[in-house]
Structure 1
Amino acid sequence: MRAPQFWRTDGVASRLLSPFGFLYGALARGRLARETPRAALPTIVIGGLTAGGDGKTPLVIALAQMLAAQGERPALLTRGYGKRGGRCEPFAVSSGDVAAEVGDEAVLLSRHALAIVGADRAASAALARELDATLLILDDGFHSRRLSPDLSLLAIDSDYGAGNGCCLPAGPLRAPLDAQIAAADALILIGAGATGRMLAASCAKPVFQARIVPEPQSAKALAGSRIIGFAGIGRTEKFFKSLAETGAEVAATRAFPDHHRYGECDLTELTALARWHDATLVTTEKDAVRLPPAFPAETMPISLTFAEPEALTAMLDAALSRARLSRAS
């Protein structure tokens, strides 16, 4: 889906939908408060404050890389949103799997660590242990609360913040703001926007500043070239802004809904647009895995970097130590 513009403001549409938002929020608050089983492995749970675009996937990948550098073997647990087919869950994603079968995020995650797809998080956790993982990172497991977290991190887009502050469908929040903040051990503030900074400053929680950066070699290759950016992610405007910051001439952009399945009409339209502008098509890694291998589009990879990685590493180490000590006792 594409986030409606009224999610940013307290307008008529939001007010008309507010009863439904109140009901959704009450149910979501209950899920956040419920007791859940604990996995045999230390469990880090990631959430996004709103319904898509906060930066959960880059955060999961960045954490997996940090922990792998410390000798850990993280398993990344995901539901495989958008997958088709009847494969028996849970299963580990392999190099030959495609987005249509396992989900685009699952393919992307599997390039960085062991990725396991399954709606039953307890079963996925058990499989991770069988495959010699040393810890779990749950991609978007914050709100479902299927496993008890040893550490809960909440990603916040600093430009978007909490939107209009209402729960779905009246606004973008996946649970009431106070309930989400209370359930988080720390906030990961992504970007330098004032909206997110003000929100984080009002919360009595540790805050870690991060930012999305293009992969240097890819960004350098785009500089000075004429391009057309297209994407089907939570907030396409962030990707288009990153493209402009590479120094490329962005002749046009095309936004699709999050997790969009590109059909022949879409591909024909994009190809015609590129010819019309005499430009190169450029998209995200997440979109690239949903495209036919032969489709002529360049990819601009991005990564998440932390302002104070040592402080975050110290928090991760402390949380993992507590988790292992509690399981040993």
Structure 2
Amino acid sequence: MKKTLARWAADVWYKDAFLGILLLPLAYVFSDIVRVRRFLYRKGFLKSHTLPVPVIVVGNITVGGTGKTPLVIWLAETLLASGYKPGIISRGYGGLSETWPQVVNKHSDAKKVGDESLLIAKQTCLPVVVGPSRVESAKRLLDGFDCNVILSDDGLQHYKLDRDIEIAVIDGERRFGNGYCLPAGPLREPIERLGSVDFTVVNGDKYADHEVSMRLVGDTAVNILTDEPKPLQQFQGLDCHALAGIGNPERFFKLLEMNGLSCMTHSFPDHYPFGRDDIEWGDDKPVLMTEKDAVKCTGFAKPYHWYVPVKAVPEATFGQQFLDLLKQKT
């Protein structure tokens, strides 16, 4: 059912303009509510919590993945290399923990804390705290760890937490779909919201001079059971399965194609709770998946299951621009 609804929504938002038009009255109501809510926070009628350290929010204005988590990891590494002590907070989407906030490390259970937060903890080895309230997560982070800057993975619309820098990430292929707000389109906020962020990072080719381009690169597969790395080129000519439960699965499949692979592809909704039967097709052919999906499959993976880690590579000038702005804010 979840897969069917996700595909239906994608068709409405990115392909079938007529169905989106039918839902426009609801979209207008939604966008008005969003504007009023933001106005109330901006004017102080609804209170935002200010932290004693700078807060950097990396989010998007569309439903679904845009590549913000790899960018958060890149930003964390950039901050570390510049002498900062970053900590990371996230919603922990999909996590089923009974108590929040939760501290995440590389040994955490993705079912409890969410796939993206576990991926971040594994790749960065930095303090990560997740929970529905980013304010409470941030407090827990500052109480328990020595951090002097906070990165928020998502949370552009979580106005209870005041922020010093806002970075919006856009899917360069799908952009804003039909341009409508929910439920007629994929927008969480009207496109005009991008006029108030500090940086607009495009995962792909940028359309305007003020945008920052970013690529996700990966040319290696890692065995889920053994951690053995293998160049993707060694899978060329083999019959392979490729699966992805991310916001835009086609982006992952195209990455494999660019590395010369021809795979049978299997798309799943973002944050899909994989089980054993979801990654088996009755054969022993190699199965390639994203690293975000792999953290949910470690308990039942077999020797032919591999994941493909990717790294964010923003355009060359972005890192210094980001650090310069952070210095201005502190």
TM-score, normalization: structure 2?
A: 0.86
Deviation at 1:38, TM superposition (A): 1.6
1:256 positional shift: 0.8
- What is the match of residue 322 of structure 1? 328
Partner Cα distance (1:159, 1:58) in 2: 17
Q: Where does residue 69 of structure 1 map in the other structure?
A: 81
**2:97 is the counterpart of 1:85:** yes
Question: C-alpha offsets along residues 252-309 of structure 1, whole Å, 9 cap, x if unaligned?
Answer: 1111111111234424xx232xx1xx6211100110111143412100111110121x
Other-structure match for 1:189: 202
Pick one of 273, 281, 296 that aligns with 1:271.
281
- 2:112 aligned residue: 101
Q: What is the distance in 1 between the residues matched to 2:200 and 2:69?
A: 15
Alignment of 1:25-36 (within 5 A): 25-33=31-39, 34-35=41-42, 36=48
From 166, 173, 190, give the equivalent of 1:152.
166
Aligned length: 304
Paired amino acid for 1:68: L
Q: Which residue number in structure 2 is paired with residue 228 of structure 1?
A: 241
Are 1:8 and 2:19 matched, yes or no?
no
Question: How far did 1:177 drift?
Answer: 0.5
Alignment of 1:129 with 2:142, yes or no, is yes
> Is 1:208 matched with 2:219?
no
Pair 1:295-2:301 in alignment: yes
User: What are the superposed Cα offsets for residues 129-156 of structure 1, whole Å, 9 maximum, x if unpaired?
Assistant: 2311110111111112221211101101
SS of corresponding position for 1:271: coil
Preserved CA contact (<8 Å) 1:218 1:300:
no
Q: State the distance in 1 between where 2:161 and 2:186 align.
A: 24
Counterpart CA distance in 2 for 1:221 and 1:293 is: 26
Counterparts of residues 30-69 of structure 1 (less than 5 Å)? 30-33=36-39, 34-35=41-42, 36-69=48-81
Match of 2:290 among 284, 288, 296: 284
Tell me how far apart the structure 1 counterparts of residues 52 and 135 of structure 2 sit (CA, whole Å). 9
- Aligned position for 1:175: 189
State the alpha-carbon separation in 2 of the partners of residues 150 and 62 from structure 1: 18
Cα displacement (A) at 1:42:
0.5
| Aligned partners of 1:222 and 1:246 also within 8 Å | no
What one-letter code is carried by the residue in structure 1 that aligns with 2:175?
A: G
> 1:22: which partner in 2?
28
When the two chains are superposed, the root-mean-square deviation of aligned CA atoms in Å is: 1.9
CA distance in 2, matches of 1:30, 1:211: 35
Distance 1:186 1:139 in 2: 15
Secondary structure at 1:305's aligned position in 2? strand
Q: Which runs of 5+ in 2 are unaligned?
A: 43-47, 221-229
Deviation at 1:14, TM superposition (A): 0.3
Give, in angstroms, the shift of residue 229 of structure 1: 0.3
Q: Counterparts of 2:177 and 2:86 in 1: how far apart (Å)?
A: 32
Aligned residue type for 1:167 = C
Give the AA of the match of 1:30: V
Measured against aligned partners, the alpha-carbon deviations of 1:219-255 in whole angstroms (never above 9, x if no partner) come to 34434433110111111000111111111232x1111
Q: Secondary structure, in 3 states, of the residue corresponding to 2:23?
A: helix
The TM-score with structure 1 as length reference comes to 0.86
Q: Which residue of 2 aligns with 1:304?
A: 312
Mapped to 2, the partners of 1:218 and 1:25 lie a distance apart of: 46
Q: Distance in 2 between matches of 1:287 and 1:218?
A: 19
How far apart are 1:22 and its partner, in Å? Answer: 1.3
- Whether the aligned pair in 2 keeps the contact of 1:32 and 1:183 (CA below 8 Å) is no
- Per-residue CA distance 1:175-196 (angstroms, 9 max, x = gap): 1101x2123111101112xxxx
CA distance in 1, matches of 2:30, 2:79: 35
**Superimposed CA distance per residue, residues 84-142 of structure 1 (whole angstroms, 9 cap, x where no aligned partner):** 1313x223212321100111111011121221112222222222223111101111111
Question: What CA distance in whole angstroms lies between the structure 1 residues aligned with 2:323 and 2:28?
Answer: 38
Provide closer, same or farther for how the CA distance between residues 218 and 108 of structure 1 changes in structure 2, counting only shifts above 3 A. Answer: farther
- Whether the 8 Å CA contact 1:156–1:190 is kept in 2: the answer is yes
Match of 1:161 in 2: 175
5+ residue gaps, structure 1, are 325-329
> Does the CA contact (< 8 Å) of 2:233 and 2:261 recur in 1?
no
